[in-house]
Chain A
Amino acid sequence: MSRWLAACLVVLIAACAAPAPERGSPAQTRLSEAEARAAALARSGDYAGAARFYGEALRLATSLENPDAIAANAINLSIVDQWLGRDAEARAALAAVLDEPRAGFSERRKTQAELRRAILEAASGNLGAAEVWAGEAERRCAPGCEYAAAILNVRAQLALDSGHAAEAARLAAAARERAQGEAGRGEAANALRTLGRARSAAGEPARALEPLRQALEIDRTLGDPRKILADLTELARAADAAGDAQAARGYQERGLAVRRAINDGRGAPETEGLLRR
């Protein structure tokens, strides 16, 4: 027992003493600075600025032949480009990883890039291409892979968009099971939302309400207005279809308030139309 304690203490001391990894050369320093600046701009909502610095970081990483930094910055660039509505640029950014099989990217980075491409294609309505890329990511995603739930969620959404509600519900339930722990809460909420939508689409709106409420609860904790709005919109539809007009109206009013707050009034007519029904 005392040996165990001593070993723990040695580990603790080692943990205390471990230095943070540092990058050395001027180019590496510029790469770190570009990445940090891009991340700060993304956090502050300046996506155009973030895209500019992720692009710079990608250029620097390429000049340094640093495959991990190339992949990370290409994927981040694709994310902010998608946020900006630049789908073609987002695809082009991912090509730095997906079209360079000899560049020595890790399996994890390849999985991330394939998943991102699947998300991009699905968002653009290219369901077939999205299926292909989601399948690639799934094949690469080993058991216990951190992106298993996200991949299943994308496949569930594709099934739902293709009119296969039962398959969508099955995949969403599987995604919910795989989305564990604190890090998996976002995907857990995505899974619950898709499960609710699938049940509504299958003509079971009353059974859709519980997973949608759970999704809303998680999304409010996570603090993402886009997801809160999506949850409230689906809850309003499900409650309305289930015959609970009062509950539906409550969700619609809450959704309208969130939408107005997000868009500062723009884009509210869709929800207001629902309220007038």
Chain B
Amino acid sequence: MIGTAVIDVVPGQGALPLAEGALIQFQPARGISEIIDDFRRQAMPAFNEVKQAMSQIGRSGEDLTGILAALRREVDQLPATHRAVRQLVEEATKATAELNQQAGSTLAATERVAHGVDRALPALSEKLTASIESIDAAAVQLKKTGEEAQAALSSARPLLDRGETAAREAGDVLSAAKRIWPLSDSFKDAADGMLPIDSFEAQGKGRAR
């Protein structure tokens, strides 16, 4: 047993026995924590760039059309990240299956040696829990980024009053961002295209927009 892993040495197909002192190579499987690290490395910079671009919208004196065009470019690049994330998630699925096998092997091995179960399973369980927490944390962070992006666009509304073109571009950016997981979960959709139904307008002040 090495750390939380158990190496189960099973005879292979070769006819010759190993020579005395021969070295057996150990190639550890890519763990979920490494996959999550990759997820963060690849996804976060893209989202941070979107965040930065959106924060510029709020600044006065900026060329709004230019910012929106830049923002659109950033959002358009996100699908690449999206694909990378999918690949990582698929790898994570494989890793989970391997982890299951590993757990089974662990159990078999430890049953064979009649002790060690108490040590091995809690450690694997902790590993899984930590992985789930890491995934949760990453998802929460991305969701927060999406919410911040939405807030930035909302606060940009007065600027968007400058023209229909800018408004349409902002709408395009928002629509593009909405189509991309995991940003899509972060946008609270007035998305059935509804204008806000606001009780404030019962005071007869709605027309003074």
Give the B-binding residues of A (Cβ under 8 A). 1-2, 4-6, 8-10, 12-13, 15-18, 20, 35-37, 39-47, 49, 68, 72, 75-76, 79-80, 82-85, 112, 115-116, 118-119, 122-125, 130, 147, 149-151, 153-154, 157-158, 182-183, 186-187, 190, 222-223, 226-227, 230, 262
Contacts and interface: CB of A to CB of B under 8 A. Distances in A.
Interface of B: 82, 85-86, 89-90, 92-93, 96-97, 99-100, 103, 125, 128-129, 131-132, 135, 147, 154-155, 157-158, 160-164, 166-168, 170-171, 179, 181-182, 184-185, 188, 192-209
B82 A153 contact: no
B197 A112 contact: yes
A1 B170 CA distance: 43
Identify the interface centre among A5, A49, A187: most chain B CB within 10 Å of its CB: A5
A190 B199 contact: yes
B96 A2 contact: yes
Closest 8 CB pairs of A and B: A153-B199, A122-B202, A44-B167, A123-B204, A40-B168, A43-B167, A119-B202, A150-B199
A122 B201 CA distance: 9
A1 B93 CA distance: 14
Given A13-B89, A83-B209, A262-B208, A2 B198 contact: no
Nearest to A262: B208
Given A16-B82, A41-B167, A72-B192, A83 B199 contact: no
A90 B3 CA distance: 71
A130 B131 CA distance: 54
A85 B207 contact: yes
Contact of A13 (B90, B100, B129, B204): B90
A157 B203 contact: yes
Given A16-B82, A262-B208, A150 B164 contact: no
Nearest to B86: A16
B167 A79 contact: no
Contacts of B129: 1
A154 B168 contact: no
A119 B201 CA distance: 6
Given A2-B103, A119-B199, A157-B199, A44 B194 contact: no
B196 A186 contact: yes
Contacts of A41: 164, 167
Contacts of A151: 199
